[in-house]
Amino acid sequence: MTKGHHPSTATRRPDRAALFIAAVLAAIAGLIFWDVSRLAGAAGYSQVGPTTVPYAIACCLLGLAIWTAFEAFRGDFPERERQEVGPVIWIVAGLAAQMLLLNVAGFSIATGILFALTARGFGKRKLWFSLPLGIVLCFVVWVIFAKLLQLSLPAGPLERLFF
């Protein structure tokens, strides 16, 4: 899952991103502490109650946060390849659009948009081609799963036109 391990080479500057991760881990630990502290600790007949395990996890996360910060200062984190932001934004936009449109526009249109925007993220710029393609494909999928297999997939104007 990693792209080769590059041990600390040139930089001795603290790795800002890694420090940020350490801060996030510490924040999660804090969140767990805060939420679990208001639980009733009544454990019944077991001393390990509903709060014990979350506290233990939070303590470990805190320890890992410190460890991460330590490695960040030593520059022990692997170097990261440069990431293209554009494609990620296209795909996230596609997923967000599907989420928001699903119940309004129905499965085919919402997922068709996701399809086209994902293809756009991978460099297929011709939306006038990929959008109809996606919608038709999703409609076929909808017919197979919603009509033949009775899976409940939200219907929209397009689906109601035919069924």
Partner 1 sequence: MKHFFLATILAGAMSLPAYAADYTIIAPANPGGGWDQTARSLQTVMQQEGISGNVQVQNVPGAGGTIGLAQFASQQKGNANALIVGGYVMVGAILTNKSPVTLKDVTPIARLTGEYEAVVVPASSDIKTMADLVEALKKDPGAVSWAGGSAGGTDHIAVGLIAKAAGVDPTKINYIAYSGGGEALAAILGSQVTAGVSGYGEFEAQVKAGTLRLLAVSGPERIAGVEAPTLKESGLDVVVENWRMVAAAPGLSDEQKAAVSADIEKLAKSAGWQEVLKTKGWQDSYLAGDAFNAQLDKDVAATEGVLKDIGLVK
Partner 2 sequence: MATFDFLLQGLLVAAQPMNLLYALIGVTLGTAVGVLPGIGPALTVALLLPVTYRLDPGGSLIMFAGIYYGGMYGGSTTSILLNTPGESSSIVTALEGNKMARAGRGGPALATAAIGSFVAGLIATLGLAFIAPYIVKLALVFGPREYFALMVLAFVTVSSAFGDSTLRGLTSLFVGLGLAVIGIDQLTGQARLSFGVPELLDGIEVTTLAVAMFAIGETLFIAAQGDKGPDKVEAVRGSIWMSANDWARSWKAWLRGTFIGFPIGAMPAGGAEIGTFLSYATEKRLTKHPEEFGNGAIEGVAGPEAANNASAAGTLVPLLTLGLPTTATAAIMLAGFQQYGLQPGPLLFATNPQLVWGLIASLLIANFMLLVLNLPLIGLWVKLLTIPKPWLYAGILLFATLGTIGANPSVYELGMLLAFGLLGYAMRVFGYPIAPVVVGLILGPLAEQQLRRALAISQGDYSVLITSPIAAVLLLIAAAALIVPLILRARGRGEVLSQLAASED
The three-state secondary structure class of 2 is coil
Query: How far apart are alpha carbons 150 and 87 in whole angstroms?
Result: 35
Residues that bind partner 1 (CB under 8 A): 42, 44-45, 144, 147-148, 150, 152
147 interacts with, out of partner 1, partner 2, none, CB within 5 to 8 A per kind: partner 1
Assess 151 for contact with partner 2 (CB under 8 A): yes
| Range 115-118, long-range pairs (CB < 8 A, 24+ positions) | 117/90, 117/91, 117/93, 118/90, 118/91, 118/94
Q: How far is the CB of 104 from partner 1 (least distance, A)?
A: 13
27 interacts with, out of partner 2, partner 1, none, CB within 5 to 8 A per kind: none
Q: How far is the CB of 40 from partner 1 (least distance, A)?
A: 9
